[in-house]
């Protein structure tokens, strides 16, 4: 039971979490709502909105996904197709669902695209190394 749950967590694309958080936050209120302000030493103010947090979470998830892709595992194909499915779902939501067509969600979809692209490139390079051609 624990092993199956661990495998499910490892196979889940991490970009799913910021996309789900976007969905929950969208129902809770506008994503552009101010979270807090920080006055910099220069005197300028840095204003964070909730969408900025989702973008930061997405960037961290993207970095972890790329690191996960560097390790060769037999489940790499499944992870790739799960990430590709999430990318397609994200594109469809961005284009077709009201409330998803904004810059924050677009950035999350672009992060997912980078994850799919990096995963496919890493998988291809790994396969090339595993195959030896004569001589």
For residue 12, what is the DSSP state? S
Q: Is the pLDDT confidence value at 132 over 70?
A: no
Q: In this predicted model, what pLDDT tens digit does every residue of 80-128 receive, in sequence order?
A: 899 999 999 999 999 999 889 989 999 999 999 999 999 888 888 776 6
| Tally: H helices and E strands in the chain | 5, 2
Integer Cα distance of 107 and 102 in angstroms: 9
pLDDT of residue 134: 47
Domain residue ranges in the chain: 2-130
Q: pTM of the prediction?
A: 0.83
Residue 135's pLDDT band (boundaries 50, 70, 90)? very low
Return the residue matching tokens 């960037």. 59
User: Measured at the alpha carbon of residue 47, what is the angle toward residues 41 and 49, in degrees to the nearest 5?
Assistant: 150
């Amino acid at each position: 039971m624990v092993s199956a749950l661990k495998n499910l967590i490892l196979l889940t694309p991490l970009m799913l979490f910021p996309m789900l958080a976007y969905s929950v936050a969208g129902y809770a209120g506008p994503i552009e709502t101010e979270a807090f302000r920080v006055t910099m030493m220069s005197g300028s103010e840095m204003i964070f909105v909730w969408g900025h947090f989702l973008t930061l979470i997405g960037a961290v998830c993207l970095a972890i996904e790329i690191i996960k892709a560097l390790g060769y595992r037999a489940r790499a194909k499944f992870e790739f197709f799960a990430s590709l499915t999430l990318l397609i779902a994200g594109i469809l939501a961005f284009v077709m669902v009201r409330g998803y067509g904004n810059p924050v969600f677009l950035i999350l979809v672009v992060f997912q695209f980078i994850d799919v692209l990096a995963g496919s490139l890493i998988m291809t390079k790994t396969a090339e190394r595993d195959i030896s051609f004569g001589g």
